[in-house]
């Protein structure tokens, strides 16, 4: 079945009317968000992005090659790339990695699905491309593989990746918003993250990967900044409000250039979904649709409760773009707190990874159903972070046990048995924050603070 059938799911007339009513009344989020900046970084709001033509326009050679996380992340991956429209066939060739070139004799070939996309924006030229997607399944946990994409005469290089082990240590990197000046100022963050943990199992992006949903040059910057990292480390991403246009529609590139799980609520394929490891479940919630559509809000809440009920995995992480508890003044999200915190509390979600508010803060909040933002020694850890250069002011809210303003960061999270080890690094590689969550039976997680001797960036 063609991959695009995953998200062409039926939506009721009532659903469409609700979505339309919300979308036509959508506020100017760009203006609202700018009111919260504090002048720490002057970034351009022009749609015009100066990229070499080879980064904007596709050619016969495959580009924007990316490895995506799969629903069954220990045994499958998904691959995407694009070419110009003169190429009409794409395949993936893959094999188990060997010390030398003898893997060539064991290559398997898998046809890819092709989709056409033409995008335009006010000040960018039209870009037409063929996008390809393929799923590699029945892989072996812990084994290293090679793959290349393309067609005869127009191949990519061979990319190498390591499948996570079915047991033992699992590590991933979490990024808040990249969004602005991606090529010039976010690139060092993802590269420093890879340098810090080159054996990472996947990378998680908590929304606002770019600033304008339909500007292909910004996606070009994002792929340029990550370069080979995107093609060798599986990515998991949740959409932010900047992945949605003012028309309320998801970026036209999202489902063409990514190939994410389609196991979420009807109508939210590849934006709200779950990823399963032996010891961890990671869930993406589509925060923009929670905010804009009462129907999709209710669907996501019911779905989340259902998949967490009797889930056998020891650890649960949720990512969504909008924070429940904000790092910025007067930005706590009462609707998210009232709708989703009771579900997090009921199922004792371990950690919630968020973006949107362009500062850093983290704190353990109790799981008492009557409590909202009470700091606690046990409960759910809420984190807000930013990896790009756009910065907001910061509050002194009680829920935060560590915070930072005007700081680009990435976070390394490692799970092994009963311990989740968390480290936050600044863009220049300095360890800024650190803690462990330790499972302690029915009492919930025990927080062990290991904050380095570095002044808080207030």
Residues 303 and 399 in one domain: yes
Residues 139 and 175 in one domain: no
Q: Last residue of some domain: 131, 162, 193?
A: 162
The per-residue pLDDT for range 109-157, each reduced to its tens digit, is 999 999 999 999 887 889 999 999 999 999 999 999 999 999 999 999 9
Backbone angles phi, psi at 404, to 5 degrees: -160, 140
Residues 232 and 257 in one domain: yes
Lowest mean pLDDT, pick from 124-128, 277-281, 294-298, 365-369: 365-369
Residue 172: name the closest of 96, 73, 271 by CA. 73
What distance in Å separates the CA atoms of residue 389 and residue 372, rounded to the nearest whole number?
30
Query: 371 in a domain, yes or no?
Result: yes
Confidence band, pLDDT 50/70/90 cuts, at residue 212: very high
Residues 200 and 138 in one domain: no
Total of domains in the chain:
2
pLDDT of residue 75: 98
Query: 332 in a domain, yes or no?
Result: yes
Q: Last residue of some domain: 106, 136, 162?
A: 162
Query: 114 in a domain, yes or no?
Result: yes
CATH code of the domain covering residue 79: 2.60.40.380
Residues 440 and 373 in one domain: yes
The mean per-residue pLDDT over the stretch 221-247 comes to 97
The per-residue pLDDT for range 61-118, each reduced to its tens digit, is 999 999 999 999 999 999 999 999 999 999 999 999 999 999 999 999 999 999 999 9
DSSP H or E run through 255: helix 254-257
Query: 364 in a domain, yes or no?
Result: yes
What distance in Å separates the CA atoms of residue 193 and residue 405, rounded to the nearest whole number?
19
Residues 202 and 318 in one domain: yes
> Rounded mean pLDDT of the chain?
89
The per-residue pLDDT for range 355-391, each reduced to its tens digit, is 999 999 999 998 865 445 555 566 899 999 999 999 9
pLDDT of residue 327: 97
Q: For residue 250, give the 3-state DSSP assignment.
A: strand
Task: Count CB atoms within 10 A of the CB of residue 44.
Answer: 10
Query: 33 in a domain, yes or no?
Result: no
Long-range contacts formed by 441-449: CB under 8 A, 24+ apart: 443/378, 444/348, 444/367, 444/378, 444/379, 445/350, 445/364, 445/378, 445/379, 445/381, 445/420, 446/377, 446/378, 447/364, 447/377, 447/378, 447/381, 449/401
- Please report, in angstroms and rounded to a whole number, the separation of the first and last CA atoms in the chain: 53
Residue with tokens 């020694």, as numbered in its chain: 377
Residues 359 and 342 in one domain: yes
Q: Last residue of some domain: 143, 162, 181?
A: 162
Task: Supply the range of the domain harboring residue 138.
Answer: 53-162
Share of the chain above pLDDT 70, in %: 86
């Amino acid at each position: 079945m063609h991959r695009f059938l995953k998200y062409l799911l039926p939506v009721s007339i009532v659903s469409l009317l609700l979505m339309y009513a919300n979308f036509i009344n959508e506020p100017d989020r760009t203006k609202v968000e700018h009111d919260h900046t504090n002048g720490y970084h002057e970034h351009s709001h022009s749609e015009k992005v100066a990229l070499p033509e080879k980064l904007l326009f596709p050619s016969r050679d495959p580009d924007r090659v990316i490895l995506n996380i799969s629903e069954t992340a220990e045994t499958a991956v998904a691959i995407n790339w694009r070419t110009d429209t003169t190429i009409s066939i794409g395949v993936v060739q893959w094999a188990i990695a060997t010390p030398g070139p003898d893997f060539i004799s064991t290559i398997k070939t898998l046809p890819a699905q092709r989709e056409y996309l033409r995008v335009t924006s006010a000040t960018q030229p039209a870009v037409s491309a063929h996008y390809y997607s393929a799923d590699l399944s029945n892989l072996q946990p812990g084994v290293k593989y090679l793959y290349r994409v393309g067609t005869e005469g127009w191949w990519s290089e061979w990319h190498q990746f390591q499948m996570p082990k079915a047991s033992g240590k699992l590590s991933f990197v979490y990024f808040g918003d990249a969004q602005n000046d991606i090529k010039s100022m976010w690139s060092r963050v993802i590269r420093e993250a890879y340098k810090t943990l080159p054996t990472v199992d996947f990378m998680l992006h908590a929304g606002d990967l770019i600033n304008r949903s339909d500007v292909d040059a910004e996606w070009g910057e994002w792929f340029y900044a990550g370069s080979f990292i995107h093609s060798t480390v599986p990515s998991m991403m949740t959409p932010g409000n900047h992945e949605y246009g003012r028309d309320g529609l998801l970026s036209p590139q999202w489902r063409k250039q990514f190939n994410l799980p389609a196991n979420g609520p009807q109508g939210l394929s590849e934006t709200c979904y779950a990823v399963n490891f032996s010891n961890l479940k990671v869930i993406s919630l589509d925060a923009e649709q929670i905010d804009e559509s009462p129907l999709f809000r209710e669907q996501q809440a019911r779905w989340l409760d259902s998949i967490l009920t009797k889930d056998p995995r020891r650890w649960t992480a949720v990512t969504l773009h909008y924070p429940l508890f904000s790092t910025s003044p007067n930005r706590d999200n009462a609707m998210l707190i009232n709708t989703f915190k009771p579900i997090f509390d009921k199922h004792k979600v371990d950690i919630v990874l968020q973006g949107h508010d362009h500062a850093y803060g983290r704190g353990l909040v109790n799981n008492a159903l009557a409590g909202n933002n009470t700091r606690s020694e046990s409960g759910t850890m809420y984190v807000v972070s930013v990896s790009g250069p756009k910065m907001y002011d910061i509050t002194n809210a009680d829920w935060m046990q560590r915070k930072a303003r005007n700081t680009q960061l990435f976070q390394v999270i490692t799970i092994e048995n009963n311990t989740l080890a968390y480290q936050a690094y600044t863009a220049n590689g300095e360890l800024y924050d650190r803690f462990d969550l330790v499972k302690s039976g029915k009492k919930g997680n025990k927080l062990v603070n290991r904050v380095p001797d570095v002044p808080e960036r207030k």
